[in-house]
Structure 1
């Protein structure tokens, strides 16, 4: 009779336990790689001063599975990043091979020294496990050199204090109505309606809805109040053709679709390939079937092309400094914030941004059939806001546009740097917990009025003068195109026609 092999038997007995441990290790393995992907995007964007998205928006994208663990891992690695780099340099562990995956190495080193304990799987993990003693020695040397006892004293961990800011959620009326959303959310939270933005709900600070079924199926969107004000200020009607000029990640795009009740057409432009994917995901999630996503630079669109001859409104939310949402975006964790002189504004960068912003706003003003344009930023800087709007007023006026007061009941207006700044809208970092800016340009008389008994006002904005209520003689667009008339010349011809006696 064959003798029982005690080693084999013991291995068989341990197999279920090892399998369970292996599952946990695999979960950690993939979480680290998801975190490394987010970290790479953040660091590359920070180095270029052109972020693909915030930490939160990247972590809570549909492609990330374990969102809470990934978010915590990214944030903690960023908090320790300066120390991690010093430790890895001191231990001399980054060979040429592993430098290509340095973000993953940062994540694993954080987990190895300060985070998850236990055995690690994966080639990168196994490599750093062999270097663990060298890493620990390098850490000890740094602590001694700095004269501190532990890592907490060295890093002076600054736990991100949650702003006492309500959680805003916007109901996607393409899928559900607001009352249904309120009933569902009240099963867990106190819910109020916002008094300015339709279909915007207010929940208690810190309410975590990222995995809520209504969020997962696109019935509600986690969107701040100021961000939600931009689409409402534009005020598109069902059936209109609209351009969202810089549309990713798409929250404002799908908000426009909801305001238009899924009717008409929205051309959503986005130049960045990665952001196009996120935009498409959000459009699909929202069920916004009237949105056409265009992997295209808005500046490349020809205003004279027949494809855009019926565009009546443009939402322009271009790249900006993001200074109004820096804390909420967790930008204070990024290397650029800790590089020294963080309180000084990078004037060169702001001027470059303002130059781009002016270019796209002037381009938007040149579309011949457009009657409403919203220019918005999440910036607190005057150079991106009031100064920029003031600089385009002459050309805006030449096209027949003027500033209109959006949300007249809102108390915080533009900085009084020029006559008309009172029409502009600002939100305050201290009072509103975010710094946004909105300017509404309106041109009247392009389209025949629907009802002459009404003045040119709506819930989002009012023009400072009422339009004369008479039938306009339209410009012969076909002749203008044949003669290659510029948008400015088209408007001049239109204005002369408009002064002719009404028929």
Structure 2
């Protein structure tokens, strides 16, 4: 009995230690798999040059449980990826089974060679741990070939300095007012209001808010200043119908909904299936109830369809090179950046992006009841910004649009490459820590008797510029509009002066 009692006490004394070890192994096991999933999306997007989202946005999505651990593991694996690939190539230890899980292999090899995590759990971990000596030998050979003594020296050759910028958070007025958010955040941080965007708050750099209750429950969104300026520039009013043409991940979408005080309707258009899921998560977190998701190609929406006859504002933030936010997005960790493609995007890719952006902006201008269109990019390249706007100005004028100046007090304006470019807005990647571009096109139709007329056909209505009505024959860019004007056989197309 005494012996049995002593054995029990001994076991009880060891048990907490075993529990801690088991918990550490279990936590590391799941963290590696979460990191591998994120890494797969990141690398596939980088390979196609069409990212689903930034590294940060993917890691901090609701589906990732251990956000801090996963973020650190993804970043460190990417930081060492060029070494890891060379080591695996030299070691020649992977069979076809493990090559199919290459992202998980990259994460585990990082842990074996450079990390401190426990590796006794998991088949992949056991497979690679048994070959630890081979991996370390291959690493030594690689360092010698590159003529460096340490891994730190080798990594330093590829490093880009970190960008230190204030932490901006946008208060989600659908759930919380600005003053209440300030009171709550001031309990831990120094907080001040932004001088430009009313619902934006500024906190010191380097603050991690991802686990803060206000972020978790959607009361505040971590959104940069330049990004927050886009929806504010659009200036949607409560009760309007607004179309967000390229919506995911949805931060600007829910900002529009908040500016509209949850009244009216926001149509959130997104083509990519995976990005639609992220959009749904963002909308759910925001608490917005006036957003309708369109899983569709914006370019294929019929602007004269009755479904869009009440759309009064369009936010167009299309795919772009992302050159203005490369450092913020951690793009310097991506393989394409190391290969020299991300920093100076190749001319062919930029031309393709600009062609798409131009088509999207022309299409946005064709919606008959639209009064305000914001075109924005997170690019520093003229070809995606001023050149796109300049190319559509003749068409915009024929529809009755003109450039207006968003945030007149902002000093950095568009490049002086055409008359009127001073109405455009730019943010600088060095001075403002982000490179953004915003153009605001406005159509004033308060006095339509002079410049505009409304067509009516078979119960369907729209607005058309009298300049367009007078054109014979119609230019190629306008012919599509006239082909889309609804006409049934035997129906009469009539025009009448009216105020809208």
With the length of structure 2 as denominator, give the TM-score of the two structures.
Answer: 0.89
Alignment of 1:294 with 2:274, yes or no, is no
Counterpart for residue 331 of structure 1: 331
Counterpart for residue 223 of structure 1: 223
Alignment of 1:136 with 2:106, yes or no, is no
Counterpart for residue 377 of structure 2: 377
What are the residue-to-residue correspondences of 1:438-457 with 2, within 5 Å?
A: 438-445=438-445, 449=446
Q: Please say if residues 453 and 495 of structure 2, whose CA atoms lie closer than 8 Å, have aligned partners that are also in contact.
A: no
Q: Residue 289 of structure 1: SS of its match in structure 2?
A: coil
Q: Please say if residues 79 and 157 of structure 1, whose CA atoms lie closer than 8 Å, have aligned partners that are also in contact.
A: no
Q: Please say if residues 38 and 74 of structure 1, whose CA atoms lie closer than 8 Å, have aligned partners that are also in contact.
A: yes
Distance 1:362 1:327, change over 3 A: same
Q: Please say if residues 158 and 338 of structure 2, whose CA atoms lie closer than 8 Å, have aligned partners that are also in contact.
A: no
Counterpart for residue 30 of structure 2: 30
Q: Residue 168 of structure 1: SS of its match in structure 2?
A: strand
Could you report, residue by residue, the CA deviation over 1:341-382 in whole angstroms, capped at 9, with x for unpaired residues?
665431100001111111111111111111111110000000
Distance 1:354 1:494, change over 3 A: farther
Q: Please say if residues 304 and 486 of structure 1, whose CA atoms lie closer than 8 Å, have aligned partners that are also in contact.
A: no
Counterpart for residue 44 of structure 1: 44
Q: Please say if residues 414 and 425 of structure 1, whose CA atoms lie closer than 8 Å, have aligned partners that are also in contact.
A: yes
What are the residue-to-residue correspondences of 1:77-476 with 2, within 5 Å?
A: 77-156=77-156, 161-340=161-340, 344-445=344-445, 449=446, 474-476=454-456
1:68 to partner: Cα distance: 1.2
Between 1:263-272 and 1:114-123, the stretch displaced more is 114-123
1:136 to partner: Cα distance: 1.1
Distance 1:188 1:11, change over 3 A: closer
Counterpart for residue 467 of structure 2: none
Q: Please say if residues 245 and 315 of structure 1, whose CA atoms lie closer than 8 Å, have aligned partners that are also in contact.
A: yes
Partners in 2 of 1:92 and 1:108 — Cα distance?
Answer: 16
With the length of structure 1 as denominator, give the TM-score of the two structures.
Answer: 0.88
Q: Please say if residues 474 and 494 of structure 1, whose CA atoms lie closer than 8 Å, have aligned partners that are also in contact.
A: no
Counterpart for residue 465 of structure 2: none
Q: Please say if residues 404 and 440 of structure 1, whose CA atoms lie closer than 8 Å, have aligned partners that are also in contact.
A: yes
Q: Residue 19 of structure 1: SS of its match in structure 2?
A: helix
Q: Which runs of 5+ in 2 are unaligned?
A: 463-478, 487-491
Q: Residue 173 of structure 2: SS of its match in structure 1?
A: coil
Could you report, residue by residue, the CA deviation over 1:265-320 in whole angstroms, capped at 9, with x for unpaired residues?
00101111111111111101111100011221112211111111111111000000
Between 1:141-150 and 1:108-117, the stretch displaced more is 141-150
Distance 1:430 1:494, change over 3 A: farther
1:473 to partner: Cα distance: 6.4
Between 1:350-359 and 1:7-16, the stretch displaced more is 7-16
Alignment coverage as a number of residue pairs = 477
Could you report, residue by residue, the CA deviation over 1:168-195 in whole angstroms, capped at 9, with x for unpaired residues?
1111000111000011111111111112
Q: Please say if residues 377 and 385 of structure 1, whose CA atoms lie closer than 8 Å, have aligned partners that are also in contact.
A: yes
1:469 to partner: Cα distance: 9.3
Counterpart for residue 455 of structure 1: none
Q: Residue 403 of structure 1: SS of its match in structure 2?
A: strand
Q: Residue 148 of structure 1: SS of its match in structure 2?
A: coil
Partners in 2 of 1:331 and 1:172 — Cα distance?
Answer: 28
Could you report, residue by residue, the CA deviation over 1:139-197 in whole angstroms, capped at 9, with x for unpaired residues?
12222333322211222277765433111111100011100001111111111111211
Q: Please say if residues 34 and 70 of structure 2, whose CA atoms lie closer than 8 Å, have aligned partners that are also in contact.
A: yes
Partners in 2 of 1:343 and 1:160 — Cα distance?
Answer: 11
Q: Please say if residues 455 and 495 of structure 2, whose CA atoms lie closer than 8 Å, have aligned partners that are also in contact.
A: no
1:64 to partner: Cα distance: 1.0
Q: Please say if residues 366 and 488 of structure 1, whose CA atoms lie closer than 8 Å, have aligned partners that are also in contact.
A: no
Partners in 2 of 1:343 and 1:126 — Cα distance?
Answer: 39
Q: Which runs of 5+ in 1 are unaligned?
A: 450-466
